[in-house]
Amino acid sequence: NYDYNIYGLTVTYELGFATLTSASSSFDTVQKKSSISGTATFASGATSAVLSTGVNAEIEGIAQEFRLAGANMDTGFNWVAGVFFSKYESAISSNVVTRYLSGDVLFQSVNGQELDESESMAYFVDTSYVIGDHLTLDLGLRYFEDDRKINSGFNLGAGNSVDPANLKKATFDKVSSKI
C-alpha cells in the first residue's frame, strides 16, 4: 500500500525594476508493507523463521523559495537574490517476529522505530555583468544551514521503541561562492 500527495504553486509578480517569484511545494507519503517471511541461517548455525508483520514509512515536507531577479539590458548587469526554506519529517517503524528453529531462543518480537527531521535555510545572491560578446563576469554567494535530528531504537516486544536518550542533533552550515 503506497499513498502520496504532492502539491506545488509558483507565483510571479513584476515589480518594474525586478521580478518577484514565490515557489512553494508540499508532499506527504505513506508506505505500508506487511507479511514478509523467510528463513535465515546465522554464522553460529542457528536457523530461524522470520516474519515481518509490518513496515510503515511516513514522510512529509514543505519547501518555500522567494527570489527577486533583475536585468538591465543597457548596462549588461543581471542579479538574483533570494531565500530558500525546507523542512521534512519522516517516521519509519517495523515489527519483526522471529522464531528460532534451533538454539536457545524460541520466540522473539522486535519493534523498531526511526524518527528523522531536517530544517534547512539558504540565502543567496548572484550577479553577472556582460563585459563583451564572449565574456561575462559572474559573482555569487550562498549561505546554507541544515539542522538535523534523528532518533531510533528497538525493543524486544511491543510498544514505542524510541528513547529520548538516543536523540542525536547536528547542525551543518556552509558558505560557498563563485567567480
User: pLDDT tens digits for 75-100?
Assistant: 889 999 999 999 999 988 877 666 65
Please count the CA atoms within 13 angstroms of the CA of 156 that sit on its side-chain side. Answer: 5
Distance CA 102, CA 47 (A): 6
Global pTM reads 0.74
pLDDT digits (tens, 9 = 90+) for 147-169: 999 888 766 555 555 667 778 89
Average model confidence (pLDDT) across the chain: 83
pLDDT at residue 81, rounded to an integer: 97
Please count the CA atoms within 13 angstroms of the CA of 72 that sit on its side-chain side. Answer: 9
pLDDT at residue 37, rounded to an integer: 63
pLDDT at residue 130 greater than cutoff 80: yes
Cα–Cα distances in Å, from 44 out to 37, 47, 86?
Answer: 21, 9, 47
pLDDT digits (tens, 9 = 90+) for 56-82: 888 999 999 999 999 988 888 999 999
pLDDT at residue 43, rounded to an integer: 63
Closest-CA residue to 89 (of 149, 161, 165): 149
- Over range 115-128, report the average pLDDT: 94
Pair 126, 80: CB distance under 8 Å: yes
